[in-house]
């Protein structure tokens, strides 16, 4: 059983590492001959090991340590395999049809991504670093490539696509802008990271920020800055202290400047820019997320949610809920949770309910519970509704009659779900009776 699994993995990995044999060929038909499985595995792995340094990097660059969790795009694959983008896409589709690749998360522009199964990922990385000459008979033949060298090859291949070796001029392939700093670090090119963050565009602005902001990747840019700051501080005793302090001040100033920039953009403007397609949805979301004031951040995310693709919308609402939970003022937390209730999906209900229960002021707590019950609770089973209704009922004890009437208006749908017309009729009768008894 283990041997069969190993055979399957290696055949798959061989196809992935060398796209020229990804489709059925004489190499794979070799499998049909009367050769032992182990010999076939060794023969396929050896015969199809890339001979050139360029091809040797493919196994690692695309399908192992370098592969992002959400997968690769045809554009990225074309760069890694040094082939036409259309051919790269066809190869990826074929491998997916053979269950050698899994479908990844689609990008905002609906570009399909592909990812490698965890088992393939681990074995491919082992094959990458395993020596070309096995120590023992029967061991797999590897490519004998160091991870740092593989990262270096990838970085150099991408650098060929830049203008005047300026990284901010890289064309977008849905991958490299989000991972360039990581690749540079793994390639041992730390100084190039610091230089990257100093690049200026033709307009005189910070080049790397300008391009990442255009792609709605401000959060990713801040991650790059934080990584550069951490790298500058690593082993600082062995470095020029004045240079370390200078880099520290530079990067902290960048972060502070972006915090100020996000705070100065009104929510209404962010929404209008996204709604009218002057900004990408990711761009508007990035600015909303960058706001430091929790109430402003939550309100921006809620207002923006209606103009975002579904995946980004759910992310925005989740982040708005997280911001709401951090707000200590009961009134403001209640207002935000009430606004959220009409927009978020049921899976966020338990977290919102917990946030509402933590509000100390009974009036504001009741306000949120009533809204949550009206919007979400009526979709739940009867036993769940009744349990929540009892919790609300205890808070209704604390109200004056005028406020009780107002809350009951908000809870009509819940009451109808619980007891139908009879319950509403009984409520009407109770209001008339009590109103006659205590004027």
Distance CA 282, CA 234 (A): 32
Q: Any residues with CB less than 8 A from the CB of 46 and at least 6 apart, and which? A: 141
The DSSP annotation for 169-192 comes to GPPP-SSHHHHHHHHHHHTT-HHH
Lowest-confidence pick of 153-157, 319-323, 427-431: 427-431
pLDDT in tens, 133-152: 877 776 767 777 788 888 88
pLDDT of residue 71: 67
Name the pLDDT band for 376 (thresholds 50, 70, 90).
low
Enumerate helices (H) and strands (E) in the chain, giving the number of each: 24, 2
Block residue for tokens 């044999």:
21
Question: What per-residue confidence (pLDDT) applies to 47?
Answer: 41
Q: Please write the tens of the pLDDT for every residue from 152-168.
A: 888 998 999 999 999 99
CA torsion through residues 297, 300, 303, 306, sign: negative
The answer, yes or no, to whether residue 389 has pLDDT greater than 60, is yes
Mean of the per-residue pLDDT values for the chain? 76
Mean pLDDT, rounded, for 313-341: 90
Q: Tens digit of pLDDT for each residue in 51-100?
A: 233 333 344 334 444 555 456 788 887 877 777 888 888 888 887 887 77
How far apart CA 395 and CA 363 sit, in angstroms, is: 8
Average pLDDT over residues 396-410: 73
Q: Give dist(CA 39, CA 246) in Å, integer.
A: 59
Average pLDDT (332-345) is: 84
**What are the extents of the domains in the chain?**
1-160
* CA-closest candidate to residue 124, choices 175, 58, 186: 58
> How far is it, in rounded angstroms, from Cα 321 to Cα 339?
10
Q: What are 383's two structure tokens?
A: 């036993």
User: What proportion of the chain, given as a percentage, has pLDDT over 90?
Assistant: 21
Burial of 62 (0-12, 13-18, 19+ CB in 10 A): buried
Average pLDDT value for residue range 32-50: 39
pLDDT tens, residue by residue, 174-218 = 889 989 999 999 999 999 999 999 999 999 999 999 999 888 888
Q: How far is CA 230 from CA 106, 186, 198, 291, 418, in A?
A: 31, 14, 16, 23, 57
Taking CA atoms, 258 is separated from 198, 290, 431, in Å, by 16, 8, 56
Strand 102-103 versus strand 114-115 pairing type: antiparallel
Tokens of 48: 């199809």
Percent of the chain with pLDDT over 70: 76
Show the 3-state SS of 348-380. HHHHHHHHHHCCCCHHHHHHHHHHHHHHCHHHC
Answer whether 0.75 is exceeded by the pTM: no
How far apart are alpha carbons 418 and 424 in whole angstroms?
Answer: 10
**Among candidate residues 263, 258, 189, 188, the one with its CA nearest the CA of residue 221:** 258
Over residues 19-40, mean pLDDT: 38
């Amino acid at each position: 059983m283990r041997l069969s699994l190993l055979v399957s993995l290696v055949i798959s990995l061989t196809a992935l590492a060398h796209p020229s044999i990804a489709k059925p060929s004489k190499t794979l038909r070799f499998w049909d001959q009367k050769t032992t499985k182990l010999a076939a595995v060794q023969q396929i792995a050896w015969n199809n090991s890339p001979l050139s340094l360029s091809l040797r990097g493919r196994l690692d660059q695309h399908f192992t340590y370098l592969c992002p969790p959400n997968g690769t795009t045809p554009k990225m694959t074309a760069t890694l395999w040094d082939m036409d983008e259309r051919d790269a896409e066809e190869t990826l589709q074929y491998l997916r049809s053979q269950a050698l690749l899994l479908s990844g998360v689609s990008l905002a522009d609906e570009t399909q991504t592909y990812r490698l199964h965890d088992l393939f990922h681990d074995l491919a990385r082992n094959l990458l670093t395993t020596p070309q000459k096995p120590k023992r008979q029967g061991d797999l033949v590897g490519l004998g490539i160091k991870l740092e060298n593989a990262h270096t090859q990838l970085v150099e291949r991408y650098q060929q696509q830049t203008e005047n070796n300026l990284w901010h001029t890289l064309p977008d392939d849905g991958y490299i802008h989000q991972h360039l700093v990581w690749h540079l670090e793994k390639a041992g090119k730390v100084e190039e990271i610091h230089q990257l963050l100093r690049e200026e565009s033709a307009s005189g602005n910070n080049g790397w920020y300008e391009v990442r902001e255009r792609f709605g990747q401000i959060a990713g840019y801040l991650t790059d800055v934080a990584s550069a700051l951490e790298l500058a501080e690593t082993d600082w005793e062995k470095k020029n202290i004045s240079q370390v302090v200078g880099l520290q001040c530079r990067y902290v100033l960048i972060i502070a400047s972006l915090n100020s920039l996000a705070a100065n953009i009104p929510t209404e403007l962010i929404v209008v820019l996204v709604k009218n397609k002057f900004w990408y949805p990711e761009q508007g979301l990035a600015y909303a997320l960058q706001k430091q004031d929790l109430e402003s951040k939550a309100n921006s995310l809620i207002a923006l949610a209606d103009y975002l693709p579904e995946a980004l919308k759910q992310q925005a609402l989740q982040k708005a809920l997280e911001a709401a939970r951090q707000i200590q003022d009961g009134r403001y937390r209640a207002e935000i949770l009430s606004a959220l209730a009409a927009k978020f999906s049921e899976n966020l209900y338990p977290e919102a309910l917990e946030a509402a229960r933590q509000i100390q002021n009974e009036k504001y707590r009741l306000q949120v519970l009533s809204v949550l019950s009206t919007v979400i609770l009526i979709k739940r089973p009867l036993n769940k509704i009744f349990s929540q209704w009892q919790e609300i009922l205890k808070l209704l004890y604390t109200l004056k009659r005028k406020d009780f009437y107002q809350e009951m208006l908000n809870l009509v749908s819940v009451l109808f779900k619980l007891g139908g017309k009879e319950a509403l009729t009984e409520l009407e009768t109770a209001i008339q009776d009590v109103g006659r008894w205590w004027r």
